[in-house]
A and B are shown apart, each in its own frame.
Chain A
Amino acid sequence: MEWYYAKHGEKQGPVSLATLRSMVVTGEVAQTDLVWKKGMADWVPAGQVGEISGVDSEPPATPVASPASGSQIPQAEVGIAGPVAHERIPNYLVQSILVTILCCWPFGIPAIIAAAKVDGLVARGDIAGAMDASKKAKTWAWVSFGSGMVFVVLYLALIGLGVISEF
């Protein structure tokens, strides 16, 4: 069976079970990194998959394995995937707000909107969507930061050339 794992917000793989196990042993894939294979309803932390971590003390991820129906959403929220995934997928919220306020250009707005979505998507169990939003927030934050930096460099250059005076 082919396994996929998530690193730095990106899907990696496929790799064989044996490869994934050795990656967990060497620490290349952490116990808290999310893994998934075909047939699983959702991404779960590697440490909670018995055949990967070799630890079978956990019950075999029952709340995660069942496809989330409407009535089960509150349960999934406090379930296994929730808090762990929360810590693994950065929302870039602080960075997005900072670039919006400091760089002034509207590129910070899509960053904030994407960043604000990340945690809600994780809570709903949409890990792929959350990773996508996380990546979007990061990209827009950099675009906004870049545009702000271009202005600061131009501004300092113009002062240096004496085109505009400091005030």
Chain B
Amino acid sequence: MNARLVVVLVFVVVGLLAILHLKENDPETDGTFLPPCSFHEVTGLHCPGCGGTRAGHALANLRVGDALKKNALVVVLLPFLVVGIALEGLAWVKGRDYRGPRVRLPRGLSWWLPGVIIGFWILRNVPMWPFDLLAPR
């Protein structure tokens, strides 16, 4: 069997176990193996991923509203990331033989995604309404 396929399968199994672990453990009360954000620990500011673990916990328990309050960006990007990770994994396993689809930004939107992420980063650190709605809460 292809060595890369083994690596990907290990990642899939570890990923599924991690999702199960995240579903059972609330990062706010029990952070076992759920490290906090290093950027937040050092600077006190929120990074674009801050609240992502808590959002994942809420999503794993099917509480979409709570997930959006913790990190709206992660929730919105998640479906694309799941598809993207699957395609990149497949492409990596197949190597040069891969001819399938890959994640591509629509033309003309290439500045849109970095803009949204950088904007989200800045705005969620502005300590006033309505921007504080973007911070984990």
Contacts and interface: CB of A to CB of B under 8 A. Distances in A.
Pick from A93, A117, A147 the residue with the most CB of B within 10 Å: A93
A91 B74 CA distance: 20
A77 B104 CA distance: 14
Interface stretch (B9-17, B59-67, B107-115, B123-131): B107-115
A87 B99 CA distance: 7
A116 B49 contact: no
B117 A100 contact: yes
Contacts of A90: 91, 102
B85 A94 contact: yes
A86 B67 CA distance: 35
Interface in B49-107: 49-50, 52, 73-74, 77, 81, 84-85, 87-88, 91, 96, 98-99, 102-105, 107
Given A93-B105, A104-B39, A151-B38, 11 more contacts: A97-B84, A100-B48, A101-B52, A101-B74, A104-B38, A104-B47, A105-B39, A109-B114, A119-B105, A152-B35, A155-B36
Interface of B: 31-32, 35-40, 47-50, 52, 73-74, 77, 81, 84-85, 87-88, 91, 96, 98-99, 102-105, 107, 110-111, 113-114, 117-118
27 contacts: A90-B91, A93-B104, A93-B113, A94-B84, A94-B85, A94-B87, A97-B77, A97-B81, A97-B84, A100-B49, A101-B48, A101-B77, A104-B38, A104-B40, A104-B49, A104-B50, A109-B114, A113-B114, A119-B104, A119-B105, A119-B110, A120-B107, A123-B107, A148-B38, A151-B35, A155-B36, A155-B38
